[in-house]
Chain A
């Protein structure tokens, strides 16, 4: 009997990849300019007078940052899968509908207006990015919908045009900005991990994980929608509702990821393809595996970004493209026989 995905097989594969992810995160948390060992981290000093430096570095700096990288990687890869399915387009990525430039514009406006107020002791930049992202997606969705029944193409075109328009605004604002503002902006646009505190991680992580779980349950519907919306309708899938739900969830987790880390390219494009090439196109599997592998990929990329030129740091977006490009091309050539959708 020919093989298709079964719950057992999915659980096994997800379990293996999840375990691998935990191991990679653990290994990466030990890498850094300051050598630390798990042993000394574990030996918690009970006296407050003599804090354990290894413990401090591990739990206050490394672990939060690695968790952040994992969350962002998972969100971007998962959203990439969904956008590719909804737009029936292998070139789609989480930023294709203007989320990136919308968030970018929000950030630049926040930085240039010299915001001094804080939100629970935090800079409101992330909030501006989030609002800019969601506002743009809402606008693009509205335009795409009103462009008529061929709304996949309408949506794509609306996204591309809005993206270009907002990018132009961003460039305009950066060119008139003062130099001290410029550096923060550009670093953000290149995608940047910082050490977030646990409250931010909990909120962002909760949103991202909830979004990914919700999307997982749309897997079978995404399968048939990615074949064609007429086909989906005739097998009884309420296409408009599912598309709206999937689109909203994917846009939401992308917006969260972008507001936590800036624009990190490539993860949302190549991870879904890499997983599809190796494991097949079934979204019930593609979604969890892409998320886990996207997390792993970004954890590794960020570890390289923060260590390779230590004590300085590179924006992680640089690493994802430099590392991801060749890796993806190798996969593409190696598995080219299986890549029929590119033919």
Chain B
């Protein structure tokens, strides 16, 4: 197995004196589905942007298929990695199909028009994400969940060996959460795509992702201890780790072969004191 993504001693902060990520090193083998989990502000999206080459590490480096991202112009990077985001700025009423076709901008012909292949990829992505029905509606007229599927379609249409997703299912209903993860899984299996998804849904991650990267809250970790853990999902998503990362109490139960994690909350119960318990 070759490695699709390598992070080597990556350190990054938006301010120089306060790193968000400190000395993060890991490797994602090609064709793996990696989940990134962690509390708010732990640097999940920052890490994703570093992996996509949209941010440059202050020290250390990110390699995609062995090539340093820093030395890559965006045109090259965009052939290797696509990013699915959740932010949406209503801009000028582009339709769903137009939006998805934008993923192919890099491949447009000299006059700036898509080829037949571009169109086919876009239409296929619409089909896969169940969005063909509103292909000609504008993004602004969709619900947040529908829009999220369109963004996933755009990521798919870019047709890259690596797909990064920032909370791909945060606005989706149960059916579409499962459908999107099923879809991602089938892409992983059929095309060998490497997937990295930020998620807060640990139980979905446990079912679909072979590996998990768990980031801890920056202010909760001592300066010298590692700020993250990565490994097989079954080893990472266990109550002790979750309690450490999120500072909540977690109850775990086996359902069939899956371990489910249920946060237990800290509301006063019986004689227990109010507030968090260590």
Contact = CB atoms under 8 A, between A and B. Distances in A.
Interface residues of A, number: 41
A227 B102 contact: yes
A85, A90, A235, most chain B CB atoms within 10 A: A235
A343 B99 CA distance: 19
Nearest to B101: A4
A2 B97 contact: yes
B136 A233 contact: no
A56 interface: no
Interface string B85-108: 101011111110111011111101
Nearest to B107: A236
Contacts of A7: 111, 113
A223 B94 contact: yes
A6, A223, A232, A234, most chain B CB atoms within 10 A: A234
B98 A4 contact: yes
A3 interface: yes
A237 to B, nearest CB: 6
Interface in A327-343: 338-341, 343
B94 A234 contact: no
B25 interface: no
A2 B95 CA distance: 10
A276 interface: yes
Question: How would you classify the secondary structure of chain B's contact residues: helix, strand, loop or mixed?
Answer: mixed
B93 A340 contact: yes
B81, B91, B114, most chain A CB atoms within 10 A: B91
Nearest to A85: B92
A236 B78 contact: yes
B97 A341 contact: no
Given A227-B94, A236-B77, A88 B89 contact: yes
Given A217-B112, A227-B99, A235 B94 contact: no
Contacts of A124: none
Contacts, number: 115
B269 to A, nearest CB: 44
B74 interface: yes
A341 B91 contact: yes
B87 A228 contact: yes
Interface in B104-156: 104-106, 108, 111-114, 123, 135-136, 138-141
A224 B83 CA distance: 14
Contacts of A339: 93
B112 A282 contact: no
Interface in B3-55: 52, 54
Given A6-B113, A223-B102, A233-B74, A341 B85 contact: no
Given A233-B74, A341-B90, A4 B105 contact: no
Nearest to B75: A236
B105 A237 contact: yes
B90 A340 contact: yes
Given A227-B91, A276-B93, A220 B108 contact: yes
Interface string A65-89: 0000000000000000000110010
Interface in A163-215: none
A168 B215 CA distance: 54
Contact of B74 (A6, A84, A223, A238): A238
Given A219-B112, A234-B52, A284-B112, A276 B92 contact: yes
A281 B92 contact: yes
A280 B93 contact: yes
B245 interface: no
A281 B82 CA distance: 24
Contacts of B82: 234-235
Contact of A340 (B101, B105, B108, B138): B138
Interface of B: 52, 54, 73-79, 81-83, 85, 87, 89-95, 97-99, 101-106, 108, 111-114, 123, 135-136, 138-141, 158
13 contacts: A2-B97, A217-B112, A220-B102, A227-B94, A228-B89, A230-B83, A233-B54, A236-B78, A238-B74, A239-B74, A280-B95, A280-B98, A281-B98
